[in-house]
A and B are shown apart, each in its own frame.
Chain A
Amino acid sequence: MTQSGDIALVNVTKRFGTTVAVENLNLHLPHGSYCCLLGPSGCGKTTILRLIAGHETPTAGDVRIGGASVVGLPPVQRGTAMMFQNYALFPHLTVLDNVAFHLKMRGVGKTERRRRAYDMLTRVQLDPFVARMPAQLSGGQQQRVALARALITNPRVLLLDEPLSALDEFLRLQMRGELRRLQQELGITFIHVTHTQLEAIAVAEIVVVMDQGRIAQAGPDPEIYTLPRNAYVARFMGGHNVLNGTVTAATHGMATLASASGERYAVLLPPQTITVDDAVCCSIRRDRIAVTKAPPGQAARPTEPNAIGGTVHAIEYQGAYVKVTIQRPGHEDIVAHVADSDFFTQHLDIGNRVVARWAAEDVHLLETEHGCKTGRAVVDQPYGWACDMPAM
C-alpha cells in the first residue's frame, strides 16, 4: 500500500435499484488536499463518500486511491477511515476501548493498545474522559472520540460525513478550525461532506458542488463562490443574484442584454463566445450592488444599463452589512448587501422606491441550462475537475 491519499473516481456510477445516486462521475483529488462535497440532501454526496470508504460498491467505474484501484477492498486495506454522521461510537465500550478497537481487532495486546489509544485521546484533549461511556459525553466530546478512533488506524484518507451538523453554532465554528488545522498537521487527504455552503468554503481548499448525482462545479473555494459556473451553483452557493436576458448587441468586448421587460444589462466578455439573440444567464454578487433612493417624480424604470428599479421589500441587519431585498413586479427579487455605513446615511425603509446599480465588470456570465454560450472557456470540459494544484 502506497501512502498517497490521491483519489480518483473514474466514470463512477452508483444505482440503488432504479434510483441513480451518482451518474458517470469523474473527480480527482490530490494527496493532502482538504475537499468538501457540498450539495442539498439526496444529491449523492454521501454516496460518493461511502464509495471511497468501501461501504458501497460502484455499479460501474473505478475508484482509485494512490493510483491503484480499491474496488472490492475492505476499508482498512484502502487506508481510509470514516467518521460517521452520528459518530457511531460503540455504546458498550469506554472511550478508551472505543479508540483502542481497531488495535484490538488487529490483535495488539491490551497494555499496548490502551497506551496508544490514550496517546491519541491526549492529542484531542480528551485524556480526562478515557473511562467514560460515550453516553456520558457531550456532542463535541463524542465527536473528538470519533475522530481519535478514526485516526488511530493511521489512514491516508479521512472521510467525514457531516461532521459538524450535530454541534451547536459555537462548537461548529471551533471544530471547523480544528479540523483544518489537524488536516494540515497530518498532511493526509480529508473529504468532508456538508450541506452548508459557508462551512464548505471556510474549511476546504477544493469544493465540489453536487447536483442530482453529478458534479455541478468543482474548484478552489474562492472560484466556486465568486465564479459560479451556472445558475444552479450561483443560487445554491447564495450571495448572488441571477438575471436572464437576450443578447441585443455584442461588440468590442461588451455585450448588451435585454430582459423580457426591457431592462438592459451591459456585460464584458470575449466577443467570439456570444452572438446576438442568444439567451443568457448572468450573476451579480449581492455585495457589488449599490442601492440608492429613486428621485421623487422620476419614471419607474431607469433608462441606463445595469440599473434596476424596484421597491424595498425587506431589510435585515446583519452586523457588517444590511441585507436589502428589492421587489420587482414580474421578476425575481434582487438582494443587495449594503455596507452598514451606506445604509444608515440613506435612511432606507421598507416601501421606498429604489434603484439598484452595478458595474459591467461585476456581471458574471453563466452557462445556461441548454448549454448555450458562456463567458468562460470551460464549456467542453467534462464534469469534474483535474486538479494540478500543489499539495499544501
Chain B
Amino acid sequence: MQLRHGTDKRPWTFYVLAAFFTLFVSFLYGPMCAIYLLSFQGPNGGLTFPMHGVSLQWFAALFAQHRTGDFAGSFLRSILLAVLVLGITVALSVMAGLAFRRRFVGATLVFYLAIASLIMPGLLVGLGIGLMCQLVGLQPAWYTSALGAQLTWTLPFGLLIMFAVLSRFNRFYEEAARDLGASAWQTFAHVVLPILLPGIIAVALFGFTLSYDEFARTLLTVGPSNTLPLEIWAMTTNITSPALYALGTLTTVVSFVVIAAALTALAVLQHRRAQRRPHAAVTR
C-alpha cells in the first residue's frame, strides 16, 4: 500500500488507539498462548517454562477421575445445562420480544423488573435461590436450582437482543402475510420466524456461552455435582500439574467449536437463501 500524501496524514488518535489495541490483544492472548503451550508439557515438566519435551499426557490425565476430579462428568453436565438454558432462553425471549411489541398494562414495569437481574450481584442471586431451596426443602441440583439461577442471567440478555432484532422488523410483513390468507400461526412460521432467524441464532449463542461460563450464580445453587467452571475452580486449588493447562486448552476448544457451529449455521442459511432455485418444472 502506498503512503499517503501529507494532507492525508493520520490523526494522532489513530496511533493512540493502535497502541492501546496492541496492548489489549497481547494482554488477552499472551497469557492464554502460554497456557496452551504449557498444556503440551512433557511428562517430567512443571507448571512453568521451559518445556521439557512435548506430550499429550496431561490431557489424558484429565479424564482419569480419581486423579484430577470429575472433569468428564462436569463437562457433560455443563454442556447439557447450556443446551437446556439455550432452549428455554430462545423460546421465552422470542415470545416475550413479540409480546412486548404490543403495549400492555405494566409493560414498562415488567421490562425493568426483568432487566434488573442483570444489575443484581450474581452471588447474591445465587445465595437467595439457595436459601429459598432450603426453605421449601428442595435439594439443589444443577438441572433445577442452578438452571433457574442461570436463566435469571440469560433471559434478560435474550430479551434485550430480541428488542434490538425486532426494532428492525417491519410490521408490514405480518400484515402482508395476513393479507395473503396466512393464519396467525402460518404468519409466525413462514414469515416472522425465518426473517428473525439470524437474530434468534444470536440469542441461542448468548444463552449457550453465558451458561457454559457461568460461575457466580451457579456456585451456591449447583448442589452436589459441579458444573465445569466450578470444577475448574476446585481443581486450581488442589492440582499442581500441567493438567490444569490442558483443561484450559480443552475448554477453549469447546468454546471455539460452539462459535464456529453458530457461524456455520448462519453461513449455510444465507447460502441456501442465495442459492435457492425454483422448481425445475417452471424453469423451462
Contact = CB atoms under 8 A, between A and B. Distances in A.
B273 A92 contact: yes
A94 B278 contact: yes
B181 A75 contact: yes
Contacts of B191: 90
Contacts of A105: 177, 180-183, 186, 190
Interface stretch (B57-65, B68-76, B167-175): B167-175
Interface in A104-136: 104-106, 110-111, 114-115, 117-118, 130-131, 133
B52 interface: no
A114 B180 contact: no
B281 A153 contact: no
B58 to A, nearest CB: 48
Chain B interface size range: 20 to 34
B179 A82 contact: yes
B194 interface: yes
B105 interface: no
B282 interface: yes
Assign chain A's interface to a size class: 35 or more
B172 A111 contact: no
Interface in A70-103: 74-76, 80-82, 84-86, 88-92, 94, 96-97, 101-102
B172 A94 contact: no
Given A114-B281, A115-B281, A84 B175 contact: yes
Contact of B195 (A90, A96, A149): A90
A131 B175 contact: no
B18 interface: no
Contacts of B180: 76, 81, 101-102, 105, 149, 153
Given A94-B276, A105-B181, A153-B181, A115 B282 contact: yes
A235 interface: no
B101 interface: no
A150 B177 CA distance: 11
B282 A118 contact: yes
B194 to A, nearest CB: 5
A55 interface: yes
Contact of B179 (A81, A92, A96): A81
B271 interface: no
B277 interface: yes
A88 B175 contact: yes
Most interface-central of B172, B194, B276, B282 (chain A CB within 10 A): B282
A53 interface: yes
A101 B279 contact: no
Contacts of A75: 178-179, 181
Interface string B229-267: 000000000000000000000000000000000000000
Given A104-B190, A114-B281, A91 B179 contact: no
B176 interface: yes
Interface in B144-161: none
B17 interface: no
A147 B108 CA distance: 40
Contact of B170 (A88, A149, A153): A88
A90 B176 contact: yes
Interface of B: 170, 172-173, 175-183, 186, 190-191, 194-195, 273-274, 276-279, 281-283
Given A55-B175, A130-B282, 15 more contacts: A76-B179, A81-B179, A84-B175, A89-B176, A92-B194, A101-B182, A101-B190, A105-B183, A106-B181, A111-B281, A114-B282, A117-B282, A131-B276, A133-B273, A149-B180
17 contacts: A82-B175, A82-B176, A92-B195, A92-B273, A96-B282, A101-B180, A104-B190, A105-B182, A106-B181, A110-B279, A111-B281, A114-B281, A114-B282, A118-B278, A130-B282, A133-B274, A150-B179
What 10 A-B pairs have minimum CB-CB distances, sorted nearest first?
A88-B172, A76-B181, A88-B176, A102-B180, A118-B282, A96-B278, A92-B194, A105-B182, A75-B179, A114-B279
